[in-house]
Amino acid sequence: MVSENGAVNEDLVKERQNCSFNTLELTHLLDGGEAKTLERKEREEYFLSDPAFKDEVPMEYLSHQEQYEHSVRKACHMFRKLQEMPHGSMDNFREPPVESVAQRIKQLLGGMLGSAILKDGNPLALHYVMFLPTLAGQGTVEQQAYWISRAWNLEIVGTYAQTELGHGTFIRGLETTATYDPSTQEFVLNSPTLTAYKWWPGGLGHTANYAVVVAQLYTQGKCHGIHPFIVQLRDEETHMPMPGIIIGEIGAKLGMNTTNNGYLGFKQVRIPRENMLMKNNKVLEDGTYVKSPSDKLTYGTMMFVRVVICQDMASYLSKAVTIATRYSAVRHQSEMKPGAPEPQVLDYRTQQYKLLPSIASVFAMKFSANWIWEMYNVVNSELDQGDLERLPELHAVSCCLKALCTSDAASAVEIVRLACGGHGYMKSSNLPSTYGLVTAACTYEGENTVLLLQTARYLMKTWQQARSGQTLTPSVAYLNLYSDWRQPRTVWENTTDCVIKAFYQVAAGKVKAAAEHMERRAKGGMTPEDAWNETSIELVAASTAHCRAFIVEKFIETVSKTDVSRPLQAVLCQMAELYAVYWLLNNKGDFLMFSNLSPADVDGLQLWLEQLLTKLRPNAVGIVDSFDIHDDILASPLGAWDGRVYERLFEESQKSPLNKEPVNKSFHEYMKPFLRSNL
Ligand SMILES: Cc1cc2nc3c(=O)[nH]c(=O)nc-3n(C[C@H](O)[C@H](O)[C@H](O)COP(=O)(O)OP(=O)(O)OC[C@H]3O[C@@H](n4cnc5c(N)ncnc54)[C@H](O)[C@@H]3O)c2cc1C
């Protein structure tokens, strides 16, 4: 039913009336408390009410070049506003004090506010996300004092240039060289081949004037592997490329078209010795190389970035499911019963199956990101005391969690986009650009398959330890418990305890199978490397099962411990169960093979899934409303709070430049002569 006079759509009004819990309570829970919700809303109001961020013509109708120019304008305005943002207005009466500038920057670059202002990527993002943290993490105290203050005050704009045309994952294979010349105390940077050109860094094309460049270090005739160097790319006044710097943008991509990803080649470019970031390894004036005692210290930044990625994935997905769920409540289609009115598409079981598990995934990602953040802090404080024991475990968990959160988010965004039928294919729905942003994260900061294989390496090691009877660290302790999956089966029960156990049984079974198959290959005469490669499909599957098991466990554990009202508790538990049963049924072969599940139990599980969908259906709109996403952040006619889907879609269509004139000149230039010539 279409609303009159701009009122809220009647279906949405009904949905909201039928919601069984207090949506504000869930909003506060997700934000981390009422004060945080208020802070968020103030921040959103401060930025989103600014007319400088509004587009007269939607960005997608601009040329590539215009899109870039608008993005730079918006990005500069965004960070200027951030600097001017009142810091203390709330300090006097709010505890804890208002968020730090670093937190605000994170919000401005993240999946909510950031993607509302710049839908297709921010050309200044890398300056904050990678350039500054690398200076902080890898520079000496003197280097930090000089470079961080210049970067922080935006006297210079930087990026992080690691990936090359020829190498991404395999960073030891990078070809850019930095050769030390003791006679001038300079490094000479060179790109010996085309494949040595840097390729991908955000902001590199036309935005940054400096970069941290990762290159093979040569001194005294010897290669010491890859190291980071600060290189000036462009003149600070004219922005012209510096001598010997070959620089530009890599071109249009599936998404993120305004991040200005660039290429960079060096022709014997000289930089002072002091521009090598020397917190860990050093080159002395005479060219002597001094190696750091431990290079594990850079793990911290990597892990921090992965946690942030998981949080961002939850944000992007929460936007997509809000759009698709509100639309599904407003959209009526077909006849369920002959002659009956067309139902809301949300009432179709298959539609619920597309939307509700995707909504549940948002919670799963948020809770597991919180959990790994706590683990990160514990392990970091242990590191300060010289205790490195849990570092490999944290590394393994962060790798697979980044991989699953990004790949789940990418498939869920696509599922809910399809759930919006044709309208989901419209750029204006904001679902295509959301997909572009999310799927990129499957590749950057560690390609997902490669990350899962890193977790697998850890699992293979711990598997050997389990076999030799050693006690294992918490996230892999299940390998001790379920190492023998051929032990007699016990009775299956549709309970969360039984389900969690089953996920771990599957993970243990898959770890064991991969380990045994690798061993068998090695015994058959294969080199360990070949055996690894031959077994890698199963290794990736083992990592995935391991990660899914702890996401399920953390989800169920978190909701059972959360102190909330009973109606909300019920909804959260249903979400956690739905998430678990959905993934269980999606992989039932594994569960039949490795857990207590038998074929006779599958019908019961299917019924459980359907019952959960039925229970959650009346709260679907309420749950996405609780995400409390500002209409300007959703930026979608399908998902706005008032549900005026058709009016808004039509309004959006009017923004197409083609509709500015009744007849396009191409009719007279091409069509008419063509049509006439056929007479
Ligand atoms: C949007 C975006 C932004 C980016 N921003 C930056 C940036 O700011 N700075 C920067 O330096 N880089 C950046 N990158 C580059 C990014 O880090 C690399 O794309 C990434 O590391 C993967 O490397 P690759 O593209 O060379 O893929 P490859 O490593 O060539 O991977 C190709 C395929 O080979 C497989 N593969 C590779 N190695 C193995 C292995 N050991 N075992 C099994 N399979 C393997 C992979 O799984 C994949 O399927 C960005 C990339 C994207 C998409």
Return the HEC string of 598-624: CHHHHHHHHHHHHHHHHHHHHHHHHHH
Q: Are strands 210-219 and 158-161 parallel, antiparallel or unpaired?
A: parallel
pLDDT band of 565, cuts 50, 70, 90? very high
**CA 443 to ligand 1 centroid distance, Å:** 6
Q: Which amino acid is at 558?
A: T
pTM score: 0.95
| SS3 of residue 191 by DSSP | coil
Cα–Cα distance for residue pair 484/512, rounded to 1 Å: 9
In this structure, are residues 407 and 226 in contact, taking their beta carbons and an 8 Å threshold?
A: no
Query: Of all protein residues, whose CA lies closest to atom 1 belonging to ligand 1?
Result: 440
Question: What CA–CA distances, in Å, run from 373 to 367, 398, 517, 581, 582?
Answer: 10, 10, 34, 26, 26
pLDDT tens column, 136-165 = 989 999 999 999 999 999 999 999 999 999
Q: Which helix (H) or strand (E) holds 247?
A: strand 245-249
Give the per-residue pLDDT at 2: 46
Cis peptide before 97 (omega within 30 of 0): no
Identify which of 184, 185, 242, 179 has the alpha carbon closest to the alpha carbon of residue 209: 242
**CA 410 to ligand 1 centroid distance, Å:** 17
**What are 219's two structure tokens?**
């001194």
Give the per-residue pLDDT at 215: 98
In this structure, are residues 119 and 430 in contact, taking their beta carbons and an 8 Å threshold?
A: yes
Average pLDDT over residues 432-443: 97
Which residue in 186, 393, 445, 577 is the catalytic one?
445
**What are 667's two structure tokens?**
């009719």
Query: Of all protein residues, whose CA lies closest to atom 44 belonging to ligand 1?
Result: 450
Identify which of 434, 360, 372, 359 has the alpha carbon closest to the alpha carbon of residue 403: 372
**CA 447 to ligand 1 centroid distance, Å:** 5
Position 93 pLDDT exceeds 70: no
Sign of CA dihedral 362, 364, 367, 369: negative
**CA 273 to ligand 1 centroid distance, Å:** 30
In this structure, are residues 67 and 258 in contact, taking their beta carbons and an 8 Å threshold?
A: yes
159-296: same fold as 10-34+297-646? no
Position 5 pLDDT exceeds 70: no
Name the least confident of 30-34, 76-80, 376-380: 376-380
Mean residue pLDDT of the chain comes to 93
Give the per-residue pLDDT at 139: 94
Q: Which of 170, 407, 447 to mutate to test the pocket of ligand 1 (most atoms within 8 A of CB)?
A: 447
Angle between the 349-384 and 391-418 helix axes, to the nearest 10 degrees? 160
Ligand 1 contacts (CB < 6 A) are 126, 160-163, 168-169, 200-202, 256, 261, 440, 443-444, 447, 449-450, 453
In this structure, are residues 313 and 627 in contact, taking their beta carbons and an 8 Å threshold?
A: no
Q: Which of 126, 127, 157, 169 to mutate to test the pocket of ligand 1 (most atoms within 8 A of CB)?
A: 169
| SS3 of residue 239 by DSSP | coil
Q: Which ligand 1 atom sits closest to the C-alpha of 159?
A: 8
Per-domain boundaries in the chain: 10-34+297-646, 159-296
Cα–Cα distance for residue pair 593/374, rounded to 1 Å: 34
Fold of 10-34+297-646: Butyryl-CoA Dehydrogenase, subunit A; domain 3 (1.20.140)
**What are 164's two structure tokens?**
């090359």
Q: Which ligand 1 atom sits closest to the C-alpha of 198?
A: 11
Cα–Cα distance for residue pair 416/354, rounded to 1 Å: 6
**CA 170 to ligand 1 centroid distance, Å:** 9
Average pLDDT over residues 75-93: 71
Alpha helices in 187-341 (DSSP H): 299-330
Position 89 pLDDT exceeds 70: no
Torsion of CA 358, 362, 363, 365, to 10 degrees: 120
pLDDT band of 48, cuts 50, 70, 90? very high
Is 176 annotated to bind ligand?
no
Identify which of 27, 51, 29, 55 has the alpha carbon closest to the alpha carbon of residue 41: 27
Q: How far is CA 3 from the centre of its chain?
A: 36
DSSP string across 259-302 = S--EEEEESSEEEEGGGB--SSSEE-TT--EE--S--GGGHHHH
Query: Of all protein residues, whose CA lies closest to atom 47 belonging to ligand 1?
Result: 449
Query: Of all protein residues, whose CA lies closest to atom 6 belonging to ligand 1?
Result: 201
* Between residues 83 and 312, the one the model is more confident about: 312
Angle between the 23-31 and 566-586 helix axes, to the nearest 10 degrees? 70
Q: Which of 200, 437, 439 to mutate to test the pocket of ligand 1 (most atoms within 8 A of CB)?
A: 200
Average pLDDT over residues 509-515: 96
Angle between the 391-418 and 448-467 helix axes, to the nearest 10 degrees? 130
Position 97 pLDDT exceeds 70: no
Q: Which ligand 1 atom sits closest to the C-alpha of 445?
A: 17
Phi then psi dihedrals of residue 286, to 5 deg? -80, 0
Identify which of 209, 122, 123, 200 has the alpha carbon closest to the alpha carbon of residue 161: 200
Average pLDDT over residues 448-471: 95
Give the per-residue pLDDT at 297: 57
Q: Which helix (H) or strand (E) holds 218?
A: strand 210-219
Kindly tell me the burial class for residue 131, based on how many C-beta atoms sit within 10 Å of its own C-beta (0-12, 13-18, 19 or more). Answer: buried
Q: Are strands 177-181 and 210-219 parallel, antiparallel or unpaired?
A: parallel
Give the per-residue pLDDT at 379: 85
pLDDT tens column, 235-256 = 999 999 999 999 999 999 999 9
Query: Of all protein residues, whose CA lies closest to atom 16 belonging to ligand 1?
Result: 444
Position 486 pLDDT exceeds 70: no
Position 353 pLDDT exceeds 90: yes
In the chain the first and final C-alpha atoms are separated, in Å, by 47
pLDDT band of 656, cuts 50, 70, 90? very high
Active site (annotated) includes residue 445: yes
Query: Of all protein residues, whose CA lies closest to atom 29 belonging to ligand 1?
Result: 169
**What are 675's two structure tokens?**
């049509």
Kindly tell me the burial class for residue 300, based on how many C-beta atoms sit within 10 Å of its own C-beta (0-12, 13-18, 19 or more). Answer: middle
Cα–Cα distance for residue pair 110/628, rounded to 1 Å: 16
Average pLDDT over residues 663-675: 97
Is 163 annotated to bind ligand?
yes
pLDDT tens column, 393-410 = 999 999 999 999 999 999
Q: Which ligand 1 atom sits closest to the C-alpha of 255?
A: 1
| SS3 of residue 120 by DSSP | coil
Q: Tell me the ipTM for this assembly.
A: 0.98
Residue 613: partners with Cβ closer than 8 Å, 6 or more residues away: 349, 352, 353, 356, 578
Position 484 pLDDT exceeds 90: no
In this structure, are residues 197 and 263 in contact, taking their beta carbons and an 8 Å threshold?
A: yes
**What are 321's two structure tokens?**
């499911």
**CA 388 to ligand 1 centroid distance, Å:** 28
Kindly tell me the burial class for residue 267, based on how many C-beta atoms sit within 10 Å of its own C-beta (0-12, 13-18, 19 or more). Answer: exposed
* DSSP for residue 562: -
Give the per-residue pLDDT at 485: 54
Give the per-residue pLDDT at 595: 94
CATH of segment(s) 159-296: 2.40.110.10
Alpha helices in 492-565 (DSSP H): 496-523, 528-534, 536-561
Q: Which ligand 1 atom sits closest to the C-alpha of 214?
A: 11
Position 88 pLDDT exceeds 50: no
